[in-house]
Each structure stands twice: as C-alpha cells, then as structure tokens.
C-alpha cells in the first residue's frame, strides 16, 4: 500500500491517502492539546503508545463483533484504516462523574453513576464542541434515528467490554469519547466505530489508588504522562521487554518531556 498525500491534519493525528480510495493511513502525532486547543505541547512517545493501545482495544472490539475502521497497524506510528464519513458528533460515555459534568451540573467529583450516561457534543472546535441533545442530531440531520439507535447499542456493548477489560488489569474506566463513521458496503452505508480509543480519549484510574493514568495528567499538570500511558500498555499486555518501546526508551522519553516543560 503506497502512502499518498496528506488529506487532513487534526490535533493528534494526520490522515494520508493511499492508492486505494477507500483506505487511508492514520498517523499518531505526539501533540497534546486540551481546553479546546488553548493548552498545547508535544510529548515525545505519546503517539507511539496511543497507536499501540488503540490497536489493541479496536482489535479486541472487532473480535466481539464491534465493526470498526482498523485494518491493521503498519508501524510504530501508523495504522491502515477504512475511510469513513465521520458523524459530526462526539459520543461521551460516563460511568463515574468527573471533569466537565461535575462543573456543569454541580455533581460531586467521583460520583458513581447508576447506569452509563451517554452525552452528545457537536464536533466543532470553533464552537468548543457544545453539548447537544439527540433531538439536535435529528433536527440538523447529523445522523438518522436508525443510526443513533445503532450507535447507542454499540456504545453500551463497547462500554461493557472495556469496563471488564480494564477491571481485569486493575483500572477503572471512568469515562471516554467515541466517534462513529459511515462506511459504504455494497452501496449501503454501515455505521462503524472510528477514530481512536486511548488514554487520550478515556479517563482511566488505578482501581486501588485512583491514580490518573490518562490525559488528565497533561490537563491538570500532574506530569509523568508517558510513564502513565506505558503503565496502561504494560497492564494490557501490549508492551513486553523486547518491545521497541523499552523501559529505557520510555525513561528517556519522559526525561525529554520533563526538560521541555
Ligand atoms: N474527550 C475526548 N475528546 C474531547 C472531549 C472529551 O477524548 O474532545 C474525552 C475525555 O478524555 C474524557 C471524556 O471524553 O475521557 C469526557 O470528557 P469531559 O467532557 O469530562 O472533558 P473535559 O471537558 O473535562 O476535558
């Protein structure tokens, strides 16, 4: 598969064309942004870890029947993925209240929700990804009722699977963000899971200590982001001693991160 021209550059990833019009390459950058792009930095090694962690989660989801855009990981930073038309909605799934919802609704941080809560945000950086309702999605044709119902079903299965997967390695899945896209199969649009699932898009707390193992380390200036993401990868059994992202490299990478601060 030949890598073609850059089609799109986002905050954390770049999409390149290939010689197949239905397949693109997703490149994971080291850039970190928060608070609608107001806080930015580069954290060396982050893209490599997110590429591996997202590959692991998406291929496990595929095995339980959740169709997604991942075809295969190509190298340390790139994946081959199916080109989809992204639904312009960020789907937020919460198991425990923290972050924006606690401020918005005055809920105590760490409140365990009775049931998973799905929230919708319009994918629009200029507007700061505003919270919207299902009715807004229908009113403005961002997705159909059939598509939303399918997405909601997929979300609950993904959440159940991921809670179990992380629980098994001593991590609580607090909340996360998903994106879905339309993929043409035999002339018919199918909804599939897209984007990435990584510590950049999930809140992950150590089951015993509640230590944050996700992007909140950057948002809240807690430091040691690379060691935290590495810890997630190791617990999931992705990183082994012979891996290219060896413990030595990760230590080197995190010292670069400290010097940059
Ligand atoms: N999230 C994300 N991208 C976004 C917004 C949210 O990946 O553009 C994830 C975030 O990492 C967290 C969850 O969605 O795991 C819920 O985010 P929240 O709305 O609480 O974000 P905050 O405004 O607190 O950063």
Q: Place 158 in a pLDDT band, splitting at 50, 70 and 90.
A: very high
Other C-beta atoms closer than 10 Å to the C-beta of 164 total 10
Q: What is the CA radius of gyration of the chain?
A: 18
For ligand 1, mutation pick of 125, 127, 177 (most atoms within 8 Å of CB): 177
pLDDT at 245 > cutoff 60: no
Average pLDDT, the chain: 93
Closest residue by Cα to residue 231 from 171, 157, 187, 172? 171
Helix residue spans in the chain (DSSP H): 46-63, 100-105, 134-139, 145-167, 216-219, 225-235, 247-260
Answer whether 181's CB lies under 8 Å from 191's CB: yes
Q: Tell whether the model's pLDDT for residue 258 goes beyond 60.
A: no
pLDDT band at 87 (very low <50, low <70, confident <90, very high): very high
96-108 pLDDT tens trace: 999 999 999 999 9
**Closest Cα partner for 51 from 253, 219, 239, 220?**
239
Take atom 5 of ligand 1 and give the residue whose Cα is closest. Answer: 177
Counting other chains too, the contacts that 61-65 makes at CB distance below 8 Å and 24 or more residues apart are: 61/158, 61/161, 61/193, 64/157, 64/161
**What is the C-alpha separation between 95 and 76, in angstroms, rounded?**
31
pLDDT for 224? 96
Q: Is 181 in contact with 150 (CB distance < 8 Å)?
A: no
* 164 pLDDT above the threshold of 90: yes
pLDDT digits (tens, 9 = 90+) for 34-80: 998 899 999 999 999 999 999 999 999 999 999 999 999 999 999 99
Q: Which atom number of ligand 1 is nearest to the Cα of residue 103?
A: 24
Q: Specify the pLDDT at position 227.
A: 98
Determine the average pLDDT of the residues in 16-21.
Answer: 97
Residue-wise pLDDT for 165-216, tens only, equals: 999 999 999 999 999 999 987 888 899 999 999 999 999 999 999 999 999 9
CA dist., res. 200 & res. 230, Å (int): 13
| Residue 195 CA, ligand 1 centroid: distance in Å | 14
Average pLDDT over residues 208-225: 98
Mean pLDDT for 132-148 is 98
Decide: residue 118, CB within 10 A, 0-12 exposed, 13-18 middle, 19+ buried: middle
The protein residue whose alpha carbon is closest to atom 6 in ligand 1 is 177
- Band (248; pLDDT cuts 50, 70, 90): very low
pLDDT reported for residue 185: 79
Ligand 1 centroid–CA 227 distance in Å is 21
**Euclidean distance between CA atoms 90 and 36, whole angstroms:** 14
Separation between Cα atoms, residue 91 and residue 77, nearest integer Å: 25
pLDDT of residue 249: 57
DSSP-derived secondary structure letter, 214: S
Ligand 1: residues with CB < 6 A are 90, 92, 99-101, 129, 175-177, 201-203, 215
| Predicted pLDDT at 188 | 87
Q: Torsion-angle region of residue 242: left (phi > 0), alpha (psi -120 to 50) or beta?
A: alpha
Instruction: Give the nearest ligand 1 atom to 98 CA.
Output: 20
Distance CA 46, CA 12 (A): 10
CA 177 to centroid of ligand 1, rounded, Å: 6
- pLDDT beyond 80 at 240: no
Percentage of the chain surpassing pLDDT 90?
88
* 3 state DSSP class of 3: strand
Which ligand 1 atom sits closest to the C-alpha of 219? 25
Cα(89)–Cα(253) distance, integer angstroms: 34
154 CA distance to ligand 1 middle (Å)? 19
Residues 28, 19: contact at Cβ < 8 Å? Answer: no
Q: What domains can you pick out in the chain, each with its CATH number?
A: 3-84+225-260 (3.30.200.20), 86-206 (3.30.470.20)
230 CA → ligand 1 middle, Å: 20
């Amino acid at each position: 598969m030949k890598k073609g021209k850059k089609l799109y550059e986002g905050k954390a990833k770049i999409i390149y064309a290939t010689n197949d019009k239905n397949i693109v390459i997703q490149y994971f950058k080291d850039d970190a942004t928060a608070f609608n792009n107001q806080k930015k930095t580069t954290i060396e090694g982050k893209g490599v870890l997110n590429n591996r962690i997202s590959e692991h989660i998406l291929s496990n989801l595929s095995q339980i029947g959740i169709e997604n855009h991942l075809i295969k990981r190509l190298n340390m930073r790139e994946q081959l993925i199916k080109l989809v038309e992204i639904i312009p909605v960020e789907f937020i799934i919460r198991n425990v209240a923290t972050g924006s919802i606690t401020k918005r609704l005055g809920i105590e941080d760490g409140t365990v929700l009775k049931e998973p809560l799905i929230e919708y945000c319009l994918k629009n950086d200029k507007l700061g990804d505003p919270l919207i309702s299902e009715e807004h999605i229908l009113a403005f044709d961002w997705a159909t009722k059939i598509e939303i119902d399918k997405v909601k079903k997929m979300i609950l299965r993904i959440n159940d699977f991921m809670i179990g997967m992380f629980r098994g390695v001593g991590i609580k899945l607090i909340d996360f963000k998903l994106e879905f896209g339309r993929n043409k199969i035999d002339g018919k649009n199918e909804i599939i899971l897209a984007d990435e699932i990584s510590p950049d898009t999930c809140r992950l707390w150590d089951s015993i200590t509640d230590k944050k193992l996700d992007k909140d380390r950057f948002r809240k200036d807690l430091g040691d982001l690379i060691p935290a993401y590495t810890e997630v990868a190791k617990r999931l059994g992705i990183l082994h001693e012979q891996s290219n992202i060896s413990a030595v490299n990760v230590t080197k990478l995190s010292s670069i991160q400290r010097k940059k601060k």
